[in-house]
Structure 1
Amino acid sequence: MRTRTLFTLVCTAAACALPLAGPASAADDVPVLTTGGTGGTPVAVGDVLTAQLASGTTATLYSSATGTSGVSCTSSQFTATVTDNPAAPGTATESLDAHSFDSSSCTSNVLGVRAVNSITVDNLPYTTSVTSDGTVTVAPASGAVQTTVRLSTLLGTITCVYQAPSLTGTASNDDNSITFTAQQFTKVSGSSLCFANGYFTAKYAPVTDGGAPVFVN
């Protein structure tokens, strides 16, 4: 959406005071992404969308899909450039240019880990697609989505590298958010102290274009 790095994607905050229209139809020539409400002002190709973690939430990389052991961060953000915004219903595309995590906001409850030194989203930019039904997909041009986690442990610093073929999230107009839930990464290199799988969960909101919340049509 998040180092936007992992992922790339896409919106919350209070909506503008304009009343919201129903879903737009292709005949209206309303694009997939708008500001000011559904059916509002088209988001232009080349516009830069930004988002931080939704207020009061954390981004987590846990060792299992339903567990609570791993790494948690309270500060993360992403930046994406719109590359196509066709008429709805359709699929808008973006280039996820930056996705970062503030390591000073990150902690770990894994036994033996003393601190989170850094979390880096590698191999940017990624291609992000947003469909009219709210499905958000983050994928590399080739290879895999990759993130590198460096941890300070009782035995020294370890580096854990995780990959996923792609990430799938959900955009909501209720709070202009993009949510990723238990997206699985597999360890491709690192110490035996690194957990074998990492499950990424985060909610970014609001997604904005020049400060204006972005809606999906």
Structure 2
Amino acid sequence: MRRYTVPALAVTATLTALALLPATAASADSAVLTYDSAAGSAVSVGDVLTASLAGGTKAALATSSGGSSGITCTGSTLSATVTANPAAPGTATESATSQTFSGCTSNVFGVTGVQSITVNGLPYSTAASSDGTVTVTPASGSTIQTTVVLSTLLGSVTCVYRAPSLAAVSSNSTTSLTFTNQAFTKFSGSVLCAGNGYFSATYAPVTDSSVSGAPAVYTN
């Protein structure tokens, strides 16, 4: 019987693009990123945007696209610093600085526990466009990398996965950021490591933690 381990987590999401698709038309002089509402105040350069998994959802790391075999995590957070926020329509940029995962379990045969999931090589560059598309890219000549350490029937196994970039979709109606079946390929690890990994998760709400009350962030 074949044994598989878990796929890697997409960064930041890094792991970590943090902007939202406009639900309503914004004023002509609105910035791409605003807080409180689509027509609210412009998010300042240097502000830190944060998000956790949407209530009642999990981050999924499947061994096949759309599959149910793999790892699920009950907790995950994203953090990014705004580096540019031009007038809309346009593209805001961010530096994705952190992504964490917790409460992770696996239903893969032979895997007895998930020791850690680590997003490597941060920060990553994030581009959040007015049309709601969000792209996460590594430094020139590099890749997005995630390391997964598992407990298996054969002992501890380390799986390293890489992707050239990641994409997400944002929504102002739920102030959310969604990654769907973002594909990684195995860079190194035991034969027990699956050859590919697919990351899906919804983070909401995305907030500006540098502003009092941490208001929700919108994209225009």
TM score, norm. by length of structure 2: 0.89
Does the 8 Å contact 1:82/1:95 carry over to 2?
yes
In structure 1, distance between residues paired with 2:202 and 2:23: 25
Query: Alignment partner for residue 133 of structure 2, among 132, 135, 143?
Result: 135
Q: 1:93 to 1:45 in 2, by over 3 A?
A: same
- Given that 1:149 and 1:160 are in contact with CA atoms closer than 8 Å, whether structure 2 keeps it comes out as yes
1:108 aligns with 2:109: no
Offset at 1:8? 1.1
Note the C-alpha offset of 1:10: 1.9
Question: Which amino acid is 1:165 matched to?
Answer: P
In the alignment, structure 2 segments of 5+ residues that lack a partner are 1-9
CA contact (8 A) 1:5 1:122 kept: no
- SS where residue 181 of structure 1 aligns? strand
1:212 aligns with 2:220: no
Q: Check conservation: 2:50, 2:77, Cα contact below 8 A.
A: yes
Cα displacement string for residues 25-82 of structure 1 (whole angstroms, at most 9, x for unaligned residues)? 6xx2210000111121100000000000001111111110021111110100011000
Structure 1 residue 5: deviation in Å? Answer: 6.2
The verdict on how the C-alpha distance between 1:10 and 1:155 changes in structure 2, with shifts beyond 3 A counting, is: same
Separation in structure 2 between the aligned mates of residue 180 and residue 3 of structure 1, nearest angstrom:
10
Query: What's the Cα RMSD here?
Result: 1.7
Superposition pairs of residues 5-24 of structure 1, within 5 angstroms: 6-10=14-18, 22-24=24-26
Distance 1:5 1:158 in 2: 23
The Cα of 1:21 is off from its aligned counterpart by 8.4
CA, structure 1 residues 164+121, in 2 after alignment: closer, same or farther (shift >3 Å)? same
Take 1:53 and 1:74, find their aligned partners in 2: how far apart are those partners?
Answer: 8
TM-score, normalised via structure 1 length: 0.90
Inter-partner Cα distance in structure 1 for 2:173 and 2:190? 42
Q: Is the 8 A contact 2:95 2:125 kept in 1?
A: yes
Counterpart Cα distance in 1 of 2:19 and 2:56 = 15
Which 5+ residue runs of structure 1 have no aligned equivalent?
13-19
Assess, with a 3 A threshold, how the Cα gap between structure 1 residues 168 and 4 changes in structure 2: closer, same or farther.
closer
1:22 Cα deviation from its structure 2 partner: 3.4
The residue matched to 1:6 in structure 2 has which SS? helix
SS at match of 1:93: strand
Give the number of equivalent residue pairs. 205
Between the aligned partners of 2:92 and 2:187, the Cα distance in structure 1 is 31
CA gap of 1:146–1:3, structure 2 versus 1, over 3 A, is: closer
